[in-house]
Chains A and B, each alone.
Chain A
Amino acid sequence: MSINILKNSLKKGRVTVKIDPSGIAMPPEMEKLGADLKKAVYAKFGRSFHIREVDTGSCNGCESEIIACANPLYDIQRFGIDFVASPRHADALLVTGPVSKNMELALKKTYEAMPEPKFVITLGDCARGGGIFKGSYYTCGGVENVLPVTLHIPGCPPNPLVIIKTLLAFLQK
């Protein structure tokens, strides 16, 4: 069995090929942005800034863009920012969505599970004040009605570059 696997891998050769990212090149300012971001993260958070994300009723557009921040192009991790699986490991809570009533308790519990010091970032227009879902019978009308919010990243959804720039501007303050 294992000899077959070995044979097969030899026959196939290397599967990881060099990928040509032409056509999706990064904006030239990216490297500068990244270096500044890294400096800020090092200074303020001792090398790494960990974020826990919670969706409280987003349309999933914002999640798509947050995930894109970690793709090999933007690769936000290389600047010291990471999205973590547990609130216990997080410095900040990143919240999307207008807070559906069903998510209010889960959001609070996630926040409570985080160690101090901690703060909340909202991302996307509907996370602040409810945006387009404002006035619905089933939302809390934005994250600020449930938790104290320190930073807001506007957009519907904000694209990865906007997310990175807003984080940088905030961390440099």
Chain B
Amino acid sequence: MNNHEYIKNILDSEKIGAVNISAPYRDELYVTVTGADFGKVCSLLHKRLDSAVMTFFAEDMRARSGSFTVYCAFLSVQARSWIFVRQDVPGENPEFVSIAKDIYSAALFERETNEMFGITPLGNPDIRSLRLHDEVWPRGFYPLRKDFVPPAGKSADGAQYQFRRVEGEGIFEVPVGPVHAGIIGPGHFRFSAAGEPVINLEIRLGWTHRGIEKLLEGKDHAEAVNIVERISGDTAFGYSLAFCNSVEKMLGPEIPVRAQVLRVLYLELERLYNHANDMGGIALDVGFSFPAQFASLIKESILRLNENLSGSRYLKGINIVGGVEKDIDKAKSAVIDEALTKIEKDILALEDMLFSSISFMDRVDATGILRTQTARDLGITGVAARASGIGLDLRKAFPDIYGVFSFAAAKEHRGDVASRFKVRCFETKESISLIHQSLKKLDGCGPQLKIAVLPKEGTALGSAEAWRGPVLVWTRLGAGGKIERCKITDPSFRNWEGLSYAVLGNIIPDFPLCNKSFDLSYPGNDL
């Protein structure tokens, strides 16, 4: 059964008529509904596909149709397809009925849509701004509208963000940030504690907002690759890959196998250096500095390997639409082989050091638990989800080139710091194996690295299971192949909320540890 029939059957079973279904690609399906049916169809798909909202966004189509379009996407693992539900929202006083009360994982996206487009989600009780801080941004300016003109000055009405407050005897608040003690991105964390345990944590982000989605508008794909590589620098390759996937899907021809295999290799190198970094970070945050320093050496050695292979320590400038720029020849292949042998040995030694330390295990075990149900409700993805018993890994859900590799997806169940640590340990080993396998496969591939592409209009969703989790990029190319809309979804966007649940009941001094075990991106969230 193809995805079209599969979804049609689900909709028919609930007697939802009058919908228009189109399937532009084998892994993308669009269900167009009226505003009245939007919530119903979303709820139905949410339950039947057992999928959280994977992304949700709006698009300003007023110049073409006089209205905005709102999309909500789910993932059907069974049909191997993204399922978009779409409705038109009037151009004047735009609003739609919120779905967040039935599907919590849509809540943050609705807030985002409200602030970036001025489209009100009716009935969503929390529409505070996420990125355009009230203190600096005047009301009534919606950057992602096509007729947006930036405000002349700053907000002058003295508006301030309203934090959720917990009140009661003996409860005190600890505000931290945006500037922190370490060398790290800016975020504001507001703890409410009663005695030692945290009873509420509110995380206010948006401090690194740079207006990426707007910047991408009007760019061609080569310019856009440069920008997306700089959304979250530690995921430069994951981002360029997701973006290229999206545009390549639109343009049609399959890219050469060699390029596909090389992309696996680079993506796994990115996972490897970041996971090694996090293993060290977790050790550092329990005060175990020897393994932490050891891990920083492992990371450095992988960054040097990256530079040796591609000229960039962070794997920038490799992906282009149509393939890759940097080949790996026999000589480089030997270099990787040799480096990996040492890296593998070091990572095993690092793990051993940590697992055999009672005090380390004591600190990470049962600390910062994110329960499976909470993770499902929030729409948590990636490493954090796999540590809480949700097995989704896009490399398995959409195997494409990964289908010819043998590897396993990680899965832990307890949702604590130890589980997130174990997921990383497991994935580093799988990555090493995947890199070895890709080197073998390169031997059998033709030499072609890229194909020429011609600009074309259209829309498509690209994705990559980057090291934190799935990076999704939905793009609309308009005349001359220029970007009209590019929606970026970073796994951090909702995983930050997972962190705020995971710390509940823990003591504030364990916060850095919980935080590091998620290791989320500020700039990826803030865009």
> In the bound complex, what is the Cα–Cα distance between A139 and B297 (angstroms)?
35
> In the bound complex, what is the Cα–Cα distance between A137 and B436 (angstroms)?
45
**Contact indicator A133/B304 (Cβ below 8 Å):** no
CB-CB nearest in chain B for A126: B230
Check A154 for interface membership: any CB of B closer than 8 A: no
- Considering the complex, which residues of chain B in the window 174-199 have a beta carbon less than 8 Å from any beta carbon of chain A? 178-179, 181-186
> In the bound complex, what is the Cα–Cα distance between A63 and B184 (angstroms)?
7
* CB < 8 Å neighbour of A102 from B206, B356, B357: B206
CB-CB nearest in chain A for B346: A19
Check A53 for interface membership: any CB of B closer than 8 A: yes
Check B27 for interface membership: any CB of A closer than 8 A: no
**Contact indicator B230/A59 (Cβ below 8 Å):** yes
**Contact indicator B215/A24 (Cβ below 8 Å):** no
Overall SS of chain B's interface? loop
- Residues of chain A within 8 A (CB-CB) of B299 are 68, 71
- Residues of chain B within 8 A (CB-CB) of A62 are 233
**Contact indicator A16/B230 (Cβ below 8 Å):** no
**Contact indicator B210/A102 (Cβ below 8 Å):** no
> In the bound complex, what is the Cα–Cα distance between A75 and B307 (angstroms)?
20
Check B522 for interface membership: any CB of A closer than 8 A: yes
**Contact indicator B211/A68 (Cβ below 8 Å):** no
**Contact indicator A24/B304 (Cβ below 8 Å):** yes
Given A15-B353, A23-B342, A61-B233, A100 contacting B210 (CB threshold 8 A): yes
Which stretch in B46-54, B288-296, B383-391 binds the other chain? B288-296
**Contact indicator A85/B181 (Cβ below 8 Å):** yes
- Considering the complex, which residues of chain A in the window 82-141 have a beta carbon less than 8 Å from any beta carbon of chain B? 83, 85-86, 97-98, 100-106, 110, 126, 132-133, 135-139
**Contact indicator A58/B208 (Cβ below 8 Å):** yes
CB-CB nearest in chain A for B150: A137
* CB < 8 Å neighbour of A60 from B131, B209, B357, B523: B523
* CB < 8 Å neighbour of A67 from B183, B313, B314, B353: B183
**Contact indicator A5/B358 (Cβ below 8 Å):** yes
* CB < 8 Å neighbour of A73 from B150, B231, B300: B300
- The digit string for B271-308, where 1 denotes a CB below 8 A from any CB of A, is 00000000000000000001001101101110110010
> In the bound complex, what is the Cα–Cα distance between A72 and B356 (angstroms)?
23
- Residues of chain A within 8 A (CB-CB) of B226 are 132
* CB < 8 Å neighbour of B290 from A15, A53, A156: A15
- Residues of chain A within 8 A (CB-CB) of B148 are 137
Check A17 for interface membership: any CB of B closer than 8 A: yes
Check B246 for interface membership: any CB of A closer than 8 A: no
Check B398 for interface membership: any CB of A closer than 8 A: no
Within the complex, the shortest CB–CB distance from B295 to chain A, in Å, comes to 9
Check A37 for interface membership: any CB of B closer than 8 A: no
> In the bound complex, what is the Cα–Cα distance between A15 and B523 (angstroms)?
37
Given A55-B186, A132-B227, A71 contacting B211 (CB threshold 8 A): no
Check B419 for interface membership: any CB of A closer than 8 A: no
> In the bound complex, what is the Cα–Cα distance between A22 and B182 (angstroms)?
29
> In the bound complex, what is the Cα–Cα distance between A126 and B294 (angstroms)?
31
Check A166 for interface membership: any CB of B closer than 8 A: no
Max chain B C-beta neighbours (<10 A), residue from A59, A100, A105: A59
Check B349 for interface membership: any CB of A closer than 8 A: yes
- Residues of chain A within 8 A (CB-CB) of B227 are 132
CB-CB nearest in chain B for A104: B136
**Contact indicator B296/A103 (Cβ below 8 Å):** no
- Considering the complex, which residues of chain B in the window 338-376 have a beta carbon less than 8 Å from any beta carbon of chain A? 338-339, 342, 349, 353, 356-358
**Contact indicator A102/B353 (Cβ below 8 Å):** no
Within the complex, the shortest CB–CB distance from A102 to chain B, in Å, comes to 5
* CB < 8 Å neighbour of B301 from A15, A24, A101: A24
Check A21 for interface membership: any CB of B closer than 8 A: yes
Given A24-B300, A97-B208, A139-B211, A103 contacting B178 (CB threshold 8 A): yes
Given A53-B183, A66-B183, A85-B182, A61 contacting B300 (CB threshold 8 A): no
How many residue-residue contacts, CB under 8 A, span A and B?
Answer: 153
> Interface residue tally of chain B, by bracket?
35 or more
Check B414 for interface membership: any CB of A closer than 8 A: no
CB-CB nearest in chain B for A22: B342
Q: How many residues of A contact B (CB 8 A)?
A: 54
**Contact indicator B209/A61 (Cβ below 8 Å):** no
- Residues of chain A within 8 A (CB-CB) of B313 are 65, 159
Check B232 for interface membership: any CB of A closer than 8 A: yes
Check B137 for interface membership: any CB of A closer than 8 A: yes
- Considering the complex, which residues of chain B in the window 502-527 have a beta carbon less than 8 Å from any beta carbon of chain A? 521-523, 526
Within the complex, the shortest CB–CB distance from B337 to chain A, in Å, comes to 12
> In the bound complex, what is the Cα–Cα distance between A63 and B186 (angstroms)?
11
> In the bound complex, what is the Cα–Cα distance between A22 and B184 (angstroms)?
29
- Residues of chain A within 8 A (CB-CB) of B211 are 133, 136-139
**Contact indicator A137/B214 (Cβ below 8 Å):** yes
- Residues of chain B within 8 A (CB-CB) of A80 are none
**Contact indicator A55/B314 (Cβ below 8 Å):** no
Check A157 for interface membership: any CB of B closer than 8 A: yes
**Contact indicator A138/B297 (Cβ below 8 Å):** no
- Residues of chain A within 8 A (CB-CB) of B301 are 23-24
* CB < 8 Å neighbour of A100 from B150, B209, B215: B209
**Contact indicator A157/B294 (Cβ below 8 Å):** no
> In the bound complex, what is the Cα–Cα distance between A98 and B208 (angstroms)?
9
Within the complex, the shortest CB–CB distance from B510 to chain A, in Å, comes to 19
Within the complex, the shortest CB–CB distance from B426 to chain A, in Å, comes to 22
Given A61-B230, A61-B236, A55 contacting B184 (CB threshold 8 A): yes
What are 26 A-B contacts defined by CB distance under 8 Å? A5-B358, A8-B358, A22-B342, A55-B185, A57-B208, A59-B523, A60-B233, A60-B234, A60-B522, A61-B230, A65-B313, A67-B183, A101-B136, A101-B209, A102-B136, A102-B178, A103-B186, A136-B210, A136-B214, A137-B143, A137-B148, A138-B209, A139-B211, A157-B314, A159-B307, A159-B313
Residues of B at the A interface (CB closer than 8 Å) are: 131-133, 135-137, 143, 148, 150, 154, 178-179, 181-186, 206-212, 214-215, 226-227, 230-234, 236, 290, 293-294, 296-297, 299-301, 303-304, 307, 313-314, 316, 338-339, 342, 349, 353, 356-358, 521-523, 526
Inter-chain pairs besides A57-B523, A85-B181, 15 sampled, C-beta below 8 Å? A19-B297, A22-B342, A55-B185, A57-B209, A58-B233, A59-B231, A59-B232, A61-B234, A64-B314, A106-B186, A132-B226, A132-B227, A135-B215, A139-B210, A157-B233
